[in-house]
Amino acid sequence: MAGKVALLLWAQTLGLTGAQTTQLLVEPPWRPAVLWDWVTLTCQGSGTAGATTWYKDGQRWGQQGLDHLSVTESGTYTCDRPGSGHSPPIRVLDDELVLQVPARALLEGDTVTLRCRGRQDNPVTRVRFYREEKNLWESLRGTELSLSPLQLHHSGHYSCSGFVRPFLSRSAAVTVTVHGVPLSGVSLSAQPPRGQVALRDRLVLSCVVATGTGPLSFSWHREGSGALLGTSPHLELHHVGDKDNGQYRCRVSNGDSVAESDPMNVTVLVPVANATITPGPLSHQVHAGDNLTLHCSVQVGSAPVNFIWLHNRKEVVQGPLLELRDVELGHSGTYQCVATNQLGQDRHRVFRALSPELALEVAPGSPWVTAVAVNVSRTLLFLLLLLAVIRGCHWWHHRDTTQTTFIPTRPPGGGGCDGPQQMTNTELSGPHEGQWEPCDYDDVL
C-alpha cells in the first residue's frame, strides 16, 4: 500500500492527476519491476473500475474489467480507462541483471538509492554503475548507489554491471529524472512598502518562492490587462503614473509545477494641488459682529491631507474649516490655507499647495443697525417737512382773514370836516394810523 501511495504522489506532483490522465501504480514501488517480486499493477482514472482495459506490449491482455492485475509474464504494460485514455507504461523484466530506481517522483534535495539486482536475487559482485556510459563508481561487494542530495544535474540514463554466478552481466538502462521541489508559498514584496508609491516615483515588486527548486521562470501580470509585464523575479516600474494603479500577480514555474502569488494592490499616491477657499469671491466684506466660516479644499491629492490657515501670512489654526465668531475689525486682512500630504517611502516627501489670498474687510456695525439708523433719519426728515408744510398753510390762512376799515380823510387843501368828504381805503394798521383826527360825523350831518 505504501508503494501505491508513493507512486500516486509522484503522479500528483507531476500534475498528471490534475490533467485527468490514467495512472498505473506498481507494487513493489520500483521501476522497472522484476517478475520475481510478484508484481501487482493498479489502474486509476476516470469512469468505473469495471471499464478498465489492460494491454501488454500493445495487445489486449488478461481479464478485462478489473482495476488491478497480477503480473505473471515480463513485458510492457498499460491500461485504459474511458474518459482519461491510456496510462504511461510500466516495464516488468526477468533479466539476469536489473538496475532499479524508486517508482516515485525524484525531487531535488532528496536522497535516492539505485540498486543493482541479480535474477531471483542471486548475489552480484564487482558492481559498477554508469551514467551516460561513464563509469561512476565501482564496489567489490556493494550493490547500491546513493545520490544524496539529489540535484537536477543527476538526471540521465543509468545502468550497472557485475558478476552473477560467475558471468559478467550488464543491466538495461533506466532513466532517472530529477524534478524540482513543487512550488508553494509564492508571495510578493514591494519597495516602497505595501505597494504605495508617489506619482512619478519608482516601484519595485519582488516575487518570493518559499519552497520549490529547479530552474524557475517568472511572469508578471496586472488584473484586467493581458499584457506580459516582465519575466524576471523583480518588476521595476519607473516614473509610475495613474495607469499603474491596480492588482499585480506573479506566476512561477519550474517545469513540473506552477504556482501563483496572491494579488498585491499598487496605489499611486498623488501630491496635493489646486487648493481653494470657499465661499468666494477672493474679496469679501462682512460687518462687525457677524459670523463667517471659510472652507479649504484641494482638487487632487491622496489622503491624508492636512490644512493650515494663515492670517496675514501667520499661522492661526489647523483644519479644513476656519470659523470666525463675532467678527471684529482686527479680523480684517488676507487669509490663505496651506494643504499638505506626505508621500514616498516612509512618507518622507512632503507636498504643499497654497491657496490664493482672500482679502477680508470688516465694516463697523452690523447691517441691521445701519438699516435702523437710515430709517430713523428718513423718518425725522419726513416729520420736519410735514411741520414746514403745516406752518406754511397756517400763515396763508391767517393772511386771508385779516380785517380792513374805510377811514375818512381830509381832502388835500380842504378845510377839515366842513368841506366835501372823500373816502379812501386805508388799513388801520397802515403807516398813517394816528396822523389824522377822525371827523365828527354829527358835525357833518
The pLDDT score that the predictor gives to residue 263 is 94
Pick from 91-100, 153-162, 166-175, 423-432: least confident:
423-432
Instruction: Tell me the average pLDDT across 113-125.
Output: 94
Could you report the per-residue pLDDT of 259-314, keeping only the tens digit for each? 999 999 999 999 999 999 998 777 888 999 999 999 999 999 988 999 999 999 99
| Domain 184-269, second-level architecture | Sandwich (2.60)
Could you report the per-residue pLDDT of 338-377, keeping only the tens digit for each? 999 988 666 677 899 999 999 999 998 655 544 444 465 6
Question: What are the grid coordinates assigned to 302, written together?
Answer: 491622496
* CATH (one of 3.30.360.10, 2.120.10.30, 3.30.1300.10, 2.60.40.10) for 273-363: 2.60.40.10
Could you report the per-residue pLDDT of 67-106, keeping only the tens digit for each? 899 999 999 999 998 888 899 999 999 999 999 999 998 9
Q: Is the CATH code 2.60.40.10 the one for domain 2-178?
A: yes
Could you report the per-residue pLDDT of 363-413, keeping only the tens digit for each? 986 555 444 444 656 777 777 888 877 877 777 666 655 544 434 444 444
Residue ranges of the domains in the chain?
Answer: 2-178, 184-269, 273-363
The pLDDT score that the predictor gives to residue 430 is 40
> Is 184-269's fold the same as 273-363's?
yes
The pLDDT score that the predictor gives to residue 401 is 57
The better pLDDT of the pair 244, 48 is held by 244
Using a pLDDT cut of 90, give the percent of the chain over it. 53
The pLDDT score that the predictor gives to residue 400 is 58
* Cβ-proximal residues to 86 (8 Å cutoff; 6+ apart), any chain: 22, 55, 78, 79, 80
Is 425's pLDDT higher than 70? no
User: How far from the centroid of its chain's Cα atoms is residue 395's Cα?
Assistant: 93
